[in-house]
Amino acid sequence: MIDPATLTTLVSSTVALLSPLLAKAVDKGVEEVGKSAAGALLGKLKERLGGTPAQKPLEDLAALPDDPDNQADLRKQLKAAVQADPALVAFLQQWLEQGQQQAQALGIAQTANVTGNDNKTVQIAGSGNSVS
């Protein structure tokens, strides 16, 4: 079973990367993105999450990628999906690696705003990286 901190980081990173990719998709139009590497990447995620608790929230986020409620709902349901299917962890880790490469190609940058005490955050670009 995945520890809660790692699960939260994995799910948050997925939604944080997914939202700008979906926003680019809305800007470019679905047909244009469907032909691109970003469209293939989004398609993989939609296919893998089909039939999981995260399917509907993913569709909602695709419709309104900047809506914080949609983002929060997807994070919550992704956690439930991973707990029900631990194999989803490996898929999401691979998807994130591919997504980060695609985001760089599209000019999408990640940011993290951390407040409070004793917080930790990690952002990685490139390949072959790991966080312990």
Better-scored residue on pLDDT, 38 or 99: 99
pLDDT confidence bin for 2, thresholds 50/70/90: confident
Q: Tell me the pTM.
A: 0.68
Q: What is the mean pLDDT of residues 93-109?
A: 74
Q: Is the pLDDT of residue 75 over 60?
A: yes
Q: Which of 9, 84, 99, 118 is nearest to 45 (CA)?
A: 99
**pLDDT score recorded for residue 90:** 92
